A and B are shown apart, each in its own frame.
Chain A
Amino acid sequence: MPPFDFVHDLDAGNTAWVLASAALVLLMTPGLAFFYGGMVRSKNVLGMLMQNYVAIGIVSVVWVVVAYSLAFGQNGVFGGFAGNLHQFGLGHMGEQVAGYQGPLAQTIPPLVFVAFQLMFAVITPALITGATADRLKFGAYCVFIGVWLLLVYAPIAHWVFSPEGWLFKKGAEDFAGGTVVHANAGAAGLALAIVLGKRLGWKKDPMRPHNLPFTLLGAGLLWFGWFGFNAGSALGANNLAGYAFVNTNTATAAAMLGWIIVEKLRDGHATTLGAASGAVAGLVAITPAAGFVSPMGSIALGFIAGALCSLAVLLKYKLGYDDALDVVGVHLVGGVAGALLIGFFGTDATGVGINGIFYGGGAHLLRLQAEAVGVAVGYSFVATLVIAKVIDLVMGLRLTKDQELEGMDTVLHAETAYDFGGVTAGGFSPGQRAAHQPAPLTEGASI
């Protein structure tokens, strides 16, 4: 790869925007943690938060060491299955990122691109935790996301995101990761939920969300961070980023409305959980399309996605898989819908991309989109199924019945999320574990 010329290639404005975007995307994972954490029962909220936070820990390390190179290196593993190890340990950061040449040439330091893409790699496996909520062992989860990042995320990112990738070269459009992140995570979530089996008491015991304000707070953080996810994916502070920003907000708003309208008609009430879920469905669906549709197109795309996902969350009851927090209904269905709707609403007016069916471009784009998302979903589902089965055989994926009934917080982490000082708060037992207890106040001491 040609060297990155830090004098002539670098654009300070673009670099600043992508750095800020990377930080925005990082915030999405804690946002997701609260979005999900509010939906689980109170005995499992720390388990859910921990899975999301530890994803930041594990993926950040694995990405820097090897996964970045697999995703964005030059074609190297089995031809174009993944990138080579040229950037192992973030070596060769003075070269242009593989494939970004000519009109695609980056104007940000490769290291900034590494940081930005890292945040996508963090949130993708974290998304899966919604499907597996309440019953996945912590150690097995940690092993799973490390392996999954290398064998599923990195290859799919390579195919679709990297200009070296075979789906990218075909012209498949995925602006910010509808296929790579959301459809991928949704398919993986489905596979894991199937391997794990249903939560104890599913369809019988009440499993109400324990803290919907958390869920709405999380949705708000996701919405905020998503501006980095989508508008940052322009990799520049430019008009395309403006399109992505406006489209992201517009589609999300329309999807929220679409979801609560369906709810009102079907269930009789517009709910806060529906508003939060609709917003996330819209964010998911506009992700692949953010730079490829017009703001008017994004209204239609968002509205369709919101309405569709609010219907799709009922599929699990019909088909009998326990996708606890609807990763399939929101991320798989929303991601696939967004990818396919580009085939209809895609326009060249944004300066990149080509026209879809409604803009006189014919069905060519739709066919390409269907191929790309079909390949990604199919590969993700099958590979995740195999990884999950192997981990299950080697170390077991699921908590025991007693552990699941007691809840993840105390069983896995020896902590309780909420202590309101009632009689069940527990006594203090001084000993080795409490070596740092404060010295007793002496007579007459004031605080």
Chain B
Amino acid sequence: MRLVTAVIKPFKLDEVKEALETFGVQGLTVAEVSGYGRQRGHTEVYRGAEYTVDFVPKVRLDVVVADDDVRDVVDVIVKASSTGQIGDGKVWTTLVDDLVRVRTGERGPDAL
């Protein structure tokens, strides 16, 4: 099993969610996060005083998938979240060594 984590532009969330549903992914966890990459932040000016806002709002989404599906799921997310502009975000995967469905106690890939 793999945890696929993506940090994307917030307005792309719906497209990514629909693409994952179409692919057959059954569950999804999202969070509003802030951060910056090569895009960096931006400046805002209040009554002439300039503020540098380093952390840009993003959405982070986490989904655990079976090993066989990892490449496809990553591709689906990348395709759905891409605008071609700077600041589109990142997708990465990590190994998951165990997983439990809380309601039934099922473990491993069965619990996906």
Asked whether B103 is an interface residue with its Cβ less than 8 Å from the other chain, the reply is: no
Q: How many residues on B have C-beta within 8 angstroms of the other chain's C-beta atoms? A: 9
| Chain B residues in 8 Å Cβ range of A267 | 45, 48, 50
B46 near A269: Cβ-Cβ < 8 Å: no
In the complex, residue of chain B having the shortest beta-carbon distance to the beta carbon of A205: B51
Give the Cβ gap from A201 to chain B, nearest Cβ, in Å. Answer: 13
| Chain A residues in 8 Å Cβ range of B47 | 273-274, 277, 310, 313-314, 326, 329
| Chain A residues in 8 Å Cβ range of B49 | 314, 317
A277 and B46 CA atoms in complex are apart in Å by 11
| Chain B residues in 8 Å Cβ range of A314 | 47-49
Task: Write out, one digit per residue, whether chain B residues 45-60 have a CB within 8 A of any chain A CB (1) or not (0).
Answer: 1111111010000000
Find B48's partner among A206, A208, A263 (CB 8 Å cutoff).
A263
| Chain B residues in 8 Å Cβ range of A271 | 45-46
A313 and B49 CA atoms in complex are apart in Å by 9
Asked whether B44 is an interface residue with its Cβ less than 8 Å from the other chain, the reply is: yes
Asked whether A266 is an interface residue with its Cβ less than 8 Å from the other chain, the reply is: yes
B53 near A206: Cβ-Cβ < 8 Å: yes
In the complex, residue of chain B having the shortest beta-carbon distance to the beta carbon of A314: B48
A269 and B43 CA atoms in complex are apart in Å by 12
Give the Cβ gap from B82 to chain A, nearest Cβ, in Å. Answer: 29
A317 and B45 CA atoms in complex are apart in Å by 14
In the complex, residue of chain B having the shortest beta-carbon distance to the beta carbon of A267: B45
Q: How many residues on A have C-beta within 8 angstroms of the other chain's C-beta atoms? A: 18
In the complex, residue of chain A having the shortest beta-carbon distance to the beta carbon of B49: A317
| Chain A residues in 8 Å Cβ range of B45 | 263, 267-269, 271
A429 and B51 CA atoms in complex are apart in Å by 40
| Chain B residues in 8 Å Cβ range of A274 | 47
A314 and B45 CA atoms in complex are apart in Å by 12
Asked whether A378 is an interface residue with its Cβ less than 8 Å from the other chain, the reply is: no
| Chain B residues in 8 Å Cβ range of A208 | 44, 46, 51
Find A273's partner among B46, B50, B53 (CB 8 Å cutoff).
B46
| Chain B residues in 8 Å Cβ range of A266 | 48
A26 and B21 CA atoms in complex are apart in Å by 56
Give the Cβ gap from B41 to chain A, nearest Cβ, in Å. Answer: 11
Find B46's partner among A209, A268, A317, A329 (CB 8 Å cutoff).
A209
Task: Write out, one digit per residue, whether chain A residues 329-369 have a CB within 8 A of any chain B CB (1) or not (0).
Answer: 10000000000000000000000000000000000000000
Give the Cβ gap from A123 to chain B, nearest Cβ, in Å. Answer: 21
A277 and B49 CA atoms in complex are apart in Å by 14
Question: Which of B47, B49, B53 is the most central at the interface, judged by chain A CB atoms within 10 Å of its CB?
Answer: B47
| Chain B residues in 8 Å Cβ range of A263 | 45, 48
A268 and B44 CA atoms in complex are apart in Å by 11
A206 and B55 CA atoms in complex are apart in Å by 12
In the complex, residue of chain B having the shortest beta-carbon distance to the beta carbon of A313: B47
A300 and B46 CA atoms in complex are apart in Å by 25
List chain A positions with a Cβ less than 8 A from chain B.
Answer: 206, 208-209, 263, 266-269, 271, 273-274, 277, 310, 313-314, 317, 326, 329
Contact sample, A vs B, 5 pairs, CB 8 Å cutoff: A206-B51, A263-B45, A266-B48, A267-B50, A329-B47
List chain B positions with a Cβ less than 8 A from chain A.
Answer: 44-51, 53
